[in-house]
């Protein structure tokens, strides 16, 4: 099952530049139906594999939970704080080289 790449203009109705285009993949309805049926099993499997500290990948938990954990750890003298990494993927697509993607 394959998908079809469609380029969407983010600045419609103006003429877009390469940075104003967002590619999406249109998938077949059969594929989407199959994905809906296995998504529960996939989520359960991933929940067992992903470390609970990676709250950005777990539903209904966000980085605010980890900020609270860090604050609690900094107040607790017995806590051994190693460090943290916060990544904002919200606009990550806009920073990717679109020529490489296309």
Question: Taking a C-beta distance cutoff of 8 angstroms, is the pair 10, 21 a contact?
Answer: yes
Q: Which domain holds residue 64?
A: 52-80
pTM greater than the 0.85 cutoff: no
Q: pLDDT by residue (tens digit) across 59-80? A: 777 778 878 888 888 888 788 8
Confirm whether 56 is domain-assigned: yes
Task: Mark whether 8 and 42 lie in a shared domain.
Answer: yes
Spell out where 1-102 has E strands: 4-9, 21-26
Confirm whether 93 is domain-assigned: no
96 has pLDDT over 80: no
What is the total count of domains within the chain?
2
Phi, psi (degrees; rounded to nearest 5) at 25: -110, 125
Task: Mark whether 56 and 42 lie in a shared domain.
Answer: no
Between CA 17 and CA 64 the distance in angstroms is: 36
Confirm whether 97 is domain-assigned: no
Confirm whether 92 is domain-assigned: no
Task: Mark whether 44 and 76 lie in a shared domain.
Answer: no
């Amino acid at each position: 099952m394959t998908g079809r790449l469609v380029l969407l203009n983010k600045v419609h109705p103006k003429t877009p530049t390469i940075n104003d285009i967002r590619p999406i993949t249109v998938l077949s309805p059969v594929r989407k139906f199959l994905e809906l049926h296995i998504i529960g099993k996939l989520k359960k499997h991933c929940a067992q594999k992903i470390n609970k500290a990676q709250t950005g990948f777990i539903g209904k938990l966000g980085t605010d939970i980890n900020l609270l954990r860090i604050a609690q750890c900094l107040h607790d003298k017995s806590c051994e704080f190693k460090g943290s990494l916060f990544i904002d993927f919200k606009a990550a697509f806009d920073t990717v080289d679109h020529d490489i993607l296309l």
